[in-house]
């Protein structure tokens, strides 16, 4: 099928259960929607039971969006608009909804595997001490009671869809090992290189720490050790991510909390920092890692999962094998070890760039359309 014909196709993204369009799970879809809309595709966004506001800004002026209250309204909307493909991710409630729609309608569906339902449930290293009681109870119940049941349910639903793509090589491996399910391709989440880029900004005496999400992926006690290690170096410390940890740490340490920050302002923080610190072990991709590297700032993280995959591809950062090694690398860090001019001119980020990622997504979808 020629490209001019493809651009008449309609793509619909399904979101649900989100309070903000800045949520990490939505970022790939928002970036793809913006890029595809600019290329002439007809894009629509469905939001179910979401408090996310529809003020997408000028970049999404050409994108149709609609709040829906229930499954019936979704079916009515899809019956009228007739998209050529419906896209969402593998977060269990959304996957269940996508599967229900698939059974009801003759519609092509694509699932972007980035959550890997159940993987966190068997990860006993999660630190849930600072989580709200409701989340603690949920982790305990699922971990010890229902994981095998939900694992089979997740797998059966996933395999009913036309296209399964993953957000990293590690997600592909885990999907195979844990769920015995193959994917069609790996499509890295798109980074908007027009925003996240290595500017000619002066590096300040500051570091950025990513405190993770709100799901127990960050060890609070280890994060405190990192901050104690930085205390004597007189760095200005920015902390991004988990608000619970941000609030707790701000009482003890002099940190600058980053909440509801725009991509443009975040890119400036990356660019002006000498180091980004990501002490998580369970990221299947690692947006913060990739964005920091795009902005010309090396990253210190653990040698596992998606973050290690990115560092291994880009050669821009430090990989620690354990906590002791992590703190040692932090203590020995010297920005002069990195040639930032070479970094700014490098092409290694092509795999994560929004243009490449969007093209790869469309190529995979086109194969489904041509069948």
Beta carbons within 8 Å of 38's beta carbon, 6+ residues apart: 59, 62
* 50-96 pLDDT tens trace: 665 655 555 566 788 888 889 999 999 999 999 999 999 999 999 99
Give the span between the Cα atoms of 147 and 261, in whole angstroms: 36
Percent of the chain whose predicted confidence (pLDDT) is above 90: 58
**Structure tokens given for 126:** 């999660």
Predicted pLDDT of residue 141: 67
pLDDT of residue 121 exceeding 70? no
User: E-strand spans in 156-230?
Assistant: 163-166, 185-186, 206-210
pLDDT at 360 over 90: yes
Q: What is the pLDDT of residues 225-259, one digit of tens each?
A: 999 999 888 899 999 999 999 999 998 899 999 98
Task: For residue range 312-331, list pLDDT tens digits in order.
Answer: 888 888 999 999 999 999 99
Rounded distance, CA 125 to CA 61, Å?
A: 43
pLDDT for position 347: 57
Residue 280: beta bridge partners?
A: 218
Residue ranges and CATH numbers for the domains of the chain are 3-190+353-370 (3.40.50.2000), 206-349 (3.40.50.2000)
Task: Provide the pLDDT for residue 106.
Answer: 92
User: What pLDDT does residue 255 have?
Assistant: 94
Please give the share of the chain, as a percent, with pLDDT higher than 70: 84
- Prediction pTM value: 0.87
pLDDT given for residue 354 in this prediction: 93
Q: Indicate the pairing of strand 299-302 with strand 275-278.
A: parallel
Q: Which residues of 92-108 are buried (b: 16+ CB within 10 A; e: fewer)?
A: eebbebbbebbeeeebb
Residue 3 has pLDDT above 50, yes or no: no
Cβ-based burial of 73 (10 A; exposed 0-12, middle 13-18, buried ≥19): middle
């Amino acid at each position: 099928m020629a490209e001019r014909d493809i651009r008449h196709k309609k793509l619909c993204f399904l979101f649900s259960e989100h309070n903000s369009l800045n949520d990490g799970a939505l970022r790939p879809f928002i970036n793809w929607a913006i890029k595809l809309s600019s290329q002439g595709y007809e894009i629509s966004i469905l939001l179910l039971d979401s408090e996310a506001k529809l003020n997408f800004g000028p970049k999404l002026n050409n994108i149709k969006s609609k709040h829906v209250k229930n499954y019936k309204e979704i079916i009515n909307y899809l019956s009228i608009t007739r998209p050529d493909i419906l896209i969402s991710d593998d977060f269990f409630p959304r996957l269940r909804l996508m599967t229900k729609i698939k059974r009801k309608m003759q519609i092509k569906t694509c699932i972007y595997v980035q959550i890997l339902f159940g993987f966190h449930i068997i990860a006993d290293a999660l630190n849930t001490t600072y989580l709200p009681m409701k989340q603690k109870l949920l982790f305990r119940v699922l971990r010890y009671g229902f994981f095998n049941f939900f694992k089979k349910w997740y797998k059966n639903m996933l395999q009913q869809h036309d296209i399964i793509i993953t957000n990293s090589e590690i997600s592909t491996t885990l999907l195979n090992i844990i769920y015995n399910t193959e994917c069609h391709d790996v499509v890295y989440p798109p980074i908007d290189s027009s925003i996240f880029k290595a500017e000619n900004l002066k590096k300040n005496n500051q570091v950025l720490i990513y405190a993770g999400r709100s799901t127990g992926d960050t060890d609070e006690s280890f994060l405190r050790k990192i901050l104690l290690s930085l205390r004597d170096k007189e760095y200005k410390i920015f902390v991004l991510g988990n608000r619970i940890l941000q609030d707790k740490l701000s009482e003890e340490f002099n940190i600058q909390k980053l909440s509801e920050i725009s991509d443009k302002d975040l890119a400036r923080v990356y660019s002006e920092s000498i180091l980004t610190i990501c002490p998580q072990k369970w990221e299947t991709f690692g947006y913060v890692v990739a964005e920091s590297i795009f902005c010309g700032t090396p990253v210190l993280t653990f040698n596992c999962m998606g973050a290690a995959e990115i560092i291994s591809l880009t050669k821009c950062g430090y990989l620690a094998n354990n906590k002791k090694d992590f703190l040692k690398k932090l203590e020995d860090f010297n920005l002069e070890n990195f040639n930032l001019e070479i970094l700014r001119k490098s092409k290694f980020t092509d795999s994560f760039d929004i243009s490449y990622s969007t093209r790869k997504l469309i190529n995979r979808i086109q194969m489904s359309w041509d069948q």
